[in-house]
C-alpha cells in the first residue's frame, strides 16, 4: 500500500516537472486581454507561444545574463510575444508585463511613419476596414449608439470623452454608413485629426553595430531607446541630443531591434507606445489558438469552435 502511494506521488511529481519544463523551455500559454490583434486573434482567446521560434531565451534571467540558444531572427508579419520594453521599473526582463503585436519592421528596415509613428503602407492607407478616430458632440451619444445598433456597427466603446465631445473609432465604410443614415444632413461626426496628407518620415529600425541619423522628429524615440536599452546617458537640450554628455547627430546601437504594431491601429499598445523592441525582450512566436469562447454569452458557437487549434496568422 505504501509502495503504491509512493508510485502515485512519484508519477504526479514527474508530471509536474514535465509541465514546468515544457512551460519554461518549449511553450507557454497567454490570454489575449484586448481587441488589438483582431481579426487574427480575438479578445478572450488563449494561445500557445513557441519559445523556440527565434531560439530559446534562457529562463531565470535574474540568475543568468541574457543568452539565446539556436538564435534566429524575427520575420516581418510574425505575431510576436514579448516583454514590455518600457517596464524599466522591473529590472528583470522576463518578469515584465507581456505584450503581443505583429512585427512590422526588422533591423535595418526603413518604414514610413506619420506624426504618431503609425506605419504607412499603400495597402493600409486605402483599406476600408482600417479604424480611425472620429469625434462628435456628447449630446449626440444616444443617436450614435442607436445608429450603430441599426447598422450593425461593432461597439468598441468610447476611445475618449469630456463634457462636450465623445470620441469613437470607425472604419471608412462604417463612417460612410453613418453619413448615409443621416439622410444627407450635415454630418456632426468628424475625423479627430487629418494626418493622411502629412508628409511621412522615414524611420530606420536600429540594428546591432549600426548608426542611426538623429532628426527632430525621431530624437525623443532614439533618446528613450539609448537610455532604456543601451545603458547610455542621453538627454535633449535646445533641440540637440546629447549622449554621455556629448552632442551627437548619429546614434550607435549594440542590439537588434524590432518595430511592432497592432492589427487594430486605434489600439496603441504597440511600438507607438513603448518604442523599439530589443531582441532580448522577445519571448516567442504566437503559434496556436488552443482555447476560444464566446465572451458575450459564455457559450461556444460554431464560428469559435472552428478556431480551436487554428494556427495564428
Judge whether 224 lies within some domain. Answer: no
H-type alpha helices, the chain: 2-25, 122-125, 141-150, 172-181, 219-229, 271-274, 302-305
Same domain, yes or no, for 83 and 31? yes
Nearest to 263 by CA among 26, 66, 38, 71: 38
Same domain, yes or no, for 30 and 79? yes
Spatial separation of the C-alpha atoms in residues 171 and 148, rounded to whole Å: 12
Judge whether 305 lies within some domain. Answer: yes
Same domain, yes or no, for 41 and 141? no
Judge whether 300 lies within some domain. Answer: yes
**Burial class of residue 28 in the structure, from the number of CB atoms within 10 Å of its CB (0-12 exposed, 13-18 middle, 19+ buried):** middle
Count the residues in the chain: 313
Q: What local confidence, expressed as pLDDT, does residue 10 receive?
A: 53
**Burial class of residue 112 in the structure, from the number of CB atoms within 10 Å of its CB (0-12 exposed, 13-18 middle, 19+ buried):** middle
Same domain, yes or no, for 69 and 139? no
CATH of the domain at 53: 2.10.109.10
Q: 44 Cβ partners below 8 Å, 6+ apart?
A: 31, 32, 292, 293, 295
C-alpha cell recorded at residue 200:
511621412
Q: What are phi and psi of 253, to 5 degrees?
A: -125, 145
Q: What local confidence, expressed as pLDDT, does residue 20 receive?
A: 44
The per-residue DSSP string of 238-263 comes to TTEEEETTEEESEEEESS-EEEEE-S
Judge whether 187 lies within some domain. Answer: yes
Same domain, yes or no, for 142 and 106? no
Spatial separation of the C-alpha atoms in residues 174 and 153, rounded to whole Å: 7
Q: 176 Cβ partners below 8 Å, 6+ apart?
A: none
Judge whether 17 lies within some domain. Answer: yes
Strand partners, 201: 113
State the pTM of this model: 0.72
pLDDT per residue, tens digit, the chain (313 aa), is 566 665 455 544 444 444 444 444 567 888 888 888 888 898 889 999 999 999 999 888 888 889 999 999 999 999 999 999 999 999 999 999 999 999 999 999 999 998 889 888 755 545 556 677 888 898 889 988 988 888 888 887 787 777 788 888 888 788 888 888 877 566 788 887 654 445 789 999 999 999 999 999 999 999 999 999 999 999 999 999 999 999 999 999 999 999 999 988 777 789 999 999 999 999 999 999 988 875 444 444 444 567 777 888 8
Which residues form the domain of 146? 130-191
- The last residue of one of the domains, among 166, 191, 216, is 191
Q: Report the domain count for the chain.
A: 2
Judge whether 79 lies within some domain. Answer: yes
**Bridge pairing between strands 257-261 and 277-278:** antiparallel
Same domain, yes or no, for 158 and 106? no
Same domain, yes or no, for 115 and 146? no
CATH of the domain at 152: 3.30.70
Q: What local confidence, expressed as pLDDT, does residue 8 receive?
A: 54
Same domain, yes or no, for 166 and 77? no
Same domain, yes or no, for 151 and 111? no
Spatial separation of the C-alpha atoms in residues 279 and 264, rounded to whole Å: 24
Same domain, yes or no, for 52 and 148? no
Q: What is the residue whose three cell numbers read 539609448?
A: 226
Same domain, yes or no, for 97 and 137? no
Judge whether 242 lies within some domain. Answer: no
Judge whether 230 lies within some domain. Answer: no
Same domain, yes or no, for 115 and 138? no
Spatial separation of the C-alpha atoms in residues 32 and 24, rounded to whole Å: 20
Amino acid at each position: 500500500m505504501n509502495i503504491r502511494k509512493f508510485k502515485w506521488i512519484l508519477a504526479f511529481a514527474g508530471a509536474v516537472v514535465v509541465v514546468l519544463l515544457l512551460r519554461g523551455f518549449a511553450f507557454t500559454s497567454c490570454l489575449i486581454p484586448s481587441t488589438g490583434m483582431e481579426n487574427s486573434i480575438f479578445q478572450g482567446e488563449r494561445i500557445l507561444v513557441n519559445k523556440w521560434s527565434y531560439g530559446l531565451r534562457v529562463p531565470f534571467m535574474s540568475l543568468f545574463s541574457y543568452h539565446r540558444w539556436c538564435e534566429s531572427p524575427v520575420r516581418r508579419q510574425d505575431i510576436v510575444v514579448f516583454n514590455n520594453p518600457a517596464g524599466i521599473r522591473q529590472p528583470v526582463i522576463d518578469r515584465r508585463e507581456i505584450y503581443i503585436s505583429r512585427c512590422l519592421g526588422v533591423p535595418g528596415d526603413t518604414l514610413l511613419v506619420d506624426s504618431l509613428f503609425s506605419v504607412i503602407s499603400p495597402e493600409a492607407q486605402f483599406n476600408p476596414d482600417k479604424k480611425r478616430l472620429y469625434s462628435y458632440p456628447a449630446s449626440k451619444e444616444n443617436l450614435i449608439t442607436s445608429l450603430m445598433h441599426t447598422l450593425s456597427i461593432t461597439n468598441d466603446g468610447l476611445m475618449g470623452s469630456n463634457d462636450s465631445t465623445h470620441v469613437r473609432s470607425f472604419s471608412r465604410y462604417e463612417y460612410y454608413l453613418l453619413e448615409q443614415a443621416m439622410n444627407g444632413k450635415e454630418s456632426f461626426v468628424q475625423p479627430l485629426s487629418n494626418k493622411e496628407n502629412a508628409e511621412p518620415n522615414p524611420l530606420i529600425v536600429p540594428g546591432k553595430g549600426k548608426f542611426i541619423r538623429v532628426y527632430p522628429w525621431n530624437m525623443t524615440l532614439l533618446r528613450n531607446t539609448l537610455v532604456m536599452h543601451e545603458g547610455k546617458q542621453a538627454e535633449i537640450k535646445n533641440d540637440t541630443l546629447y549622449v554621455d554628455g556629448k552632442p551627437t547627430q548619429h546614434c550607435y546601437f549594440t542590439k537588434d531591434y524590432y518595430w511592432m504594431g497592432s492589427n487594430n491601429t486605434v489600439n496603441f499598445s504597440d511600438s507607438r507606445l513603448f518604442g523599439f523592441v530589443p531582441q532580448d525582450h522577445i519571448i516567442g512566436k504566437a503559434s496556436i489558438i488552443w482555447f476560444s469562447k464566446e465572451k458575450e454569452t459564455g457559450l461556444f458557437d460554431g464560428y469559435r469552435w472552428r478556431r480551436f487549434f487554428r494556427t495564428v496568422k
